[in-house]
Structure 1
Amino acid sequence: MDVLTGNEMIAVPSGQVTLSDRRTRRSWSVGLAPYELAASPVTQALYAQVTGSRPSTAHGDRLPVECVSWWDAARFCNSLSRRDGCTPAYRFGTDGEGADGEAIEWDASADGYRLPTEAEWEHACRAGTTGPRYGELDEIAWYRGNSHERIHAVGGRHPNPWGFHDMLGNVWDWCWDVYDAEVYGTYRVLRGGGWFDEHWSCRASARRRSHPAFQVDDVGFRIARSPV
C-alpha cells in the first residue's frame, strides 16, 4: 500500500481491550468481535471524491482531511457506503438532538462504513503491544517534536504491527462514542493525538473530547466496517 487514500481496509481479529480515563481514574474492559478498519485516516482526495467538498485548512490530496465535524464524518460514511453499494450504517433523524438538530442511530447489521468505537480504535492501535505506543514516537508519528507544526501526508511514518498508519499523531480520529454524557453532554471521543500535540498526547490510551459539530484543523477520522 504505497499510496493510501483512507479506504484500504484491514481485517482486525477479535479481542479484549482495557480502556482508561485519566480524568476520572476509571478503567473498563471491552470484548470485541472481528471488524475492519482503514489503514490510514481518510485523505482529502477521497473525501472530495465522495462529497465534492474540500473543507481542510491545509491542502493536498494525500493529506488527511481535517476541519470535519463528527457529523460530517458520519455523513461521509453513509455516502461512501452508497457509492460502494453497501447498506449505510447510520440513520439520521430530526428530533432535536445534537448541534445539527438531528439524532443518529447505528444499524449494527449494516455492511456499510462507519466510525470505529474507541475500543475498536485502541485495539487496532495497540496491535498486540502493551506499552503506551507501538514503536518509537519519532518513527511512527507526526507530533509537535518532528512535524514542524504542520500536517503531513498519510503513510509517511512506520505502521504498527498490523499495518495501520498514523494511529498516533498527524490528526486525531473521531470515534463513535460519547465521551461522558453526564458531564459533557453530546461530546464525542477523539483518539490518537495530532501534529501539534506534545508527546504525552500521542499514546494508545490517550482520550480527548470535542463537540460533534466542531471542526478543528488537527481532527480527522478513519473508517471501520463490521463483517457481513
Structure 2
Amino acid sequence: MDKKGRTNRLLSRLAVGLMLAAMALFTGCPNKITVKPVTFEVTFSAGEHGTLKAKAEGIAETETSPITIEQGKIVTFRATPDSGYRVKGWTRDGEAVNGTNDSYSFTVTKGVEVKVGFESNSVPPTPPAGDVGSFEDTGDGFIKISPPAAGITGMNPTYTLPGTADEWKGVFRAGRKVKLSPYKLGKTEVPYKLWKEVYDWAIGTGYQFANAGVKGKDGSGSEEEPVTSVSWRDCIVWCNAYTQKTNNAESECVYRKSKTDTTVLKDATKGSECDAAYADMSKKGFRLPTEAEWEYAARWQGSNTENAVQYGEVWLTKLNSASGAKARWNNAGETNAVAWYWDNSDSKTHPVGEKRSNALGLHDMSGNVWEWCFDWYDANPRVNDAAYTSGGFVVDPQGGAAGVDRVFRGGCWDSLAGGCVVGGRLGGNPGDSGDHLGFRVACRP
C-alpha cells in the first residue's frame, strides 16, 4: 500500500472513532470512572482484665485488630471489663481521651491507634475536687448519682440556643436552687429484650398494658434496640411490674393510686387512675426519673469546664449541646459521636449503648428515642416549686401539681440536631405512644 493509501486508511479509522464517540455522547452512554474511597488503618488493643471490640459502617463488630475504615465513617469501640474490674482510661495515639467510659466513638480522618486499660473495682476512683457531686458505676446496669449537697444554683444562658423560646432553657433557671437526693439511673434506655421479659411476666401476674411495645422504631429492629410505642401510663405500670418481679413482692413498688390509697397501680388501660398516680419516693422500686434528675444526669461534668457552665460549684454541659458532646448542636462531629438523630440514624432506632457515653457513663441521653419523665409538663418548670421548697431549696421537684401532658426529654432518631440538646423540653399526653417514644428507669440507691 502506498503512502497515500495508508494515510486515507488512518483518516478513515479516525473518523469512525470520532463517530462512535459522538454516538456515545448523544445516546447518553457515560464514561464510567470508579473512584476508590480513601481508607485508613485503625489499630486497637486492650490491657489485661478486659476486652475491646470495634465496629464501623459496613464492618461487623470484631476483636481482631487492625481494621480498615473509609474516611469520614464513624468507628465505635466497646470495652468490656472482666468481673470485678472497670475501665481505667483510654488513649488515642498516646493521648488520654474519653475518661473512664466503656465505649468510645469518633469519625475516622487518619490512621490511629486506640488503647484501653482496666483496673480493679477495689481501687476507689479519685473523687472530683469541690462540692461538685459524684457518681459510681454500680455494676448492675445503673449509675449511682450523688448530686452536690449545696444544690444546683440556677442561671439563665448567655449563649446561643437552637431557638429563643423558654422550652430550650432546661429546668435549672435563674433564681431557682434545686437540691436532689442521690439516685440511680439506667446506663441505657430500656431495650426491647428487657421490656418483653418483664411484660410477659406481668401479663401472667395481673398486670395490664395499653400497648405491647415494639422492637425499635417499628418492630423490625433487634431486641437490643429501645422499646418504643409505649405510653407514659404503660411505663409506670411496667416499672411496678419490674419491681415486683425483681423483689418478689409489691412492697417496694413506687406508683400508687394516691398518697392515702396505697394500692399499687397495675392497669395502664385505666387512664384517669394512672394519670393521678402518686410516686412514693421512699420506696426503692424502679420508676421514671423526674425531669430535674434527667437533666442533671444529662448535663453533669463535675469539675470539667469544657463546653460547660458553672452552676454553683458544679459544671453542667451547655444547654445548646447534646449530652456528652464537647461542642454545641451544630458541630456535626460531636453530635454524631453521642446521638442517633436525623443526620446519621438512617431513619431508624439503633441498639442502645453504641454511642459515646456522657461524663457519668450514660448512653443515648440525646437521640435514639425521646425518654418519658414522671413530671407533669408546664412551660414554666417552677410553677409548683412551693410544694417542694424547704430551707431555700426546691427539693426533689416533680413538676406541676396537675396538667395535660407529661414531660419527655432528649430527642430521637428523627430529630434534627437542635432537637437533641440537653436544654430542650417537650410534653405529651400520658396516653400517647409512638415510634419515637421510649424511657429509661431510675431508682433509689
TM-score normalised by the chain length of structure 1:
0.87
Whole-angstrom distance in 2 between the partners of 1:142 and 1:179: 25
State yes or no: 1:64 paired with 2:197: no
Instruction: Check if 1:38 corresponds to 2:186.
Output: yes
1:13 to partner: Cα distance: 1.4
The corresponding residue for 1:48 is 196
C-alpha distance in structure 2 between counterparts of 1:223 and 1:163, whole Å: 15
Q: Equivalent of 1:130, from 291, 306, 317?
A: 317
* 1:117 to 2:279 alignment: no
Equivalent residue number for residue 414 of structure 2: 196
Q: Where does structure 1 lack aligned partners over 5 or more consecutive residues?
A: none
Mark the CA change 1:125 to 1:144 in structure 2 (over 3 Å): closer, same or farther. Answer: same
Q: Measure the CA separation in 2 of the matches of 1:80 and 1:130.
A: 32
Counterpart-to-counterpart distance in 2, 1:47 and 1:220: 10
**Could you give the per-residue CA deviations for residues 1-20 of structure 1, whole angstroms, max 9, x where no partner exists?**
859xxx71110112344488
Contact 1:19 1:205 in 2 (8 A): no
For residue 99 of structure 1, report the CA deviation from its aligned partner.
7.2
Structure number with bigger Rg: 2
RMSD of aligned residue pairs (Cα, Å): 2.8
Would the aligned equivalents of 2:167 and 2:426 in 1 still touch at CA under 8 Å? no
More displaced 10-residue stretch of structure 1: 150-159 or 53-62? 53-62
> Residue deviations 1:79-135, cap 9 Å, x none?
0100111610111369xxx97121211111101011000110011111224323321
Matches within 5 A, 1:1-228: 8-15=141-148, 16-17=151-152, 18=154, 22-23=166-167, 27=173, 28-52=176-200, 54-56=212-214, 57-58=218-219, 59-85=221-247, 87-92=252-257, 100-102=271-273, 103-128=276-301, 129-131=316-318, 132-133=321-322, 134-135=324-325, 136-180=334-378, 185-227=403-445
Answer whether contact 2:355 2:363 (CA < 8 A) is retained.
yes
| AA in 2 matched with 1:80 | Y
Per-residue deviation, residues 10-33 of structure 1 (Å, max 9, x unmatched):
101123444887149783442111
TM-score by length of 2: 0.46
**C-alpha distance in 2 between matches for 1:55 and 1:101:** 21
Residue aligned with 1:68, SS: coil
- Distance in 2 between residues matched to 1:68 and 1:155, nearest whole Å: 20
CA distance 1:113–1:148, change in 2 (3 Å): same
Against the structure 1 CA distance between its residues 36 and 108, is the aligned structure 2 distance closer, same or farther, given a 3 Å change threshold? same
CA distance in 2, matches of 1:105, 1:218: 26
5+ unaligned residues in a row in structure 2: which ranges?
1-78, 81-101, 103-139, 157-164, 201-210, 264-268, 302-315, 326-333, 384-399
Question: Aligned residues, how many?
Answer: 221
Does the Cα contact within 8 Å between 1:19 and 1:119 map onto a contact in 2?
no
Partner SS state of residue 153, structure 1: coil
